Amino acid sequence: MQDNNYNPYTTPAGGAPVPPQQPVYTPTAFEGMDPPEGYPQKSRLAAGILGMLTGSLGLHNFYLGNSQRGLIQILVSTLGAALTCGISTVAMMIWGIIEGIQILEHKTNADANGIKLKD
């Protein structure tokens, strides 16, 4: 049985109906959680250096556990190089350098499992 008095809009006293508001999302920086017992914590320095030196191959993403992103970087930089005369490899190098810098500047704080990177 349906309620005939149901109104999806709220009506303030003496005013026109107001549609419901969307919830407000306030993003917060994800810091990562502490590693569980026996979990090998990844090194921020190693990931950052891998990103800056071998970023086009995505080795830093494999190191952090982001296998899909690393695979995309390898495929675009190697297979795409033949199709784009090397432009895709240069783009992947820039992408890797930017990710390496973000890791070293503490803008990336966790590995793929959400565990904090050790300093």
Domain residue limits, the chain: 44-104
SS3 116: strand
d(CA 75, CA 79): 5
Assess whether pLDDT exceeds 90 at residue 23: no
Per the model's pLDDT, the better-predicted residue between 18 and 72 turns out to be: 72
pLDDT at 85: 87
CA quadruple 81, 72, 115, 44: dihedral, nearest 10? 0
Assess whether pLDDT exceeds 60 at residue 28: no
Question: pTM for this structure?
Answer: 0.70
Bridge partners of 26, per DSSP, are none
SS3 92: helix
pLDDT at 56: 87
pLDDT at 4: 60
Inter-residue contact 99 to 51 (CB < 8 Å): yes
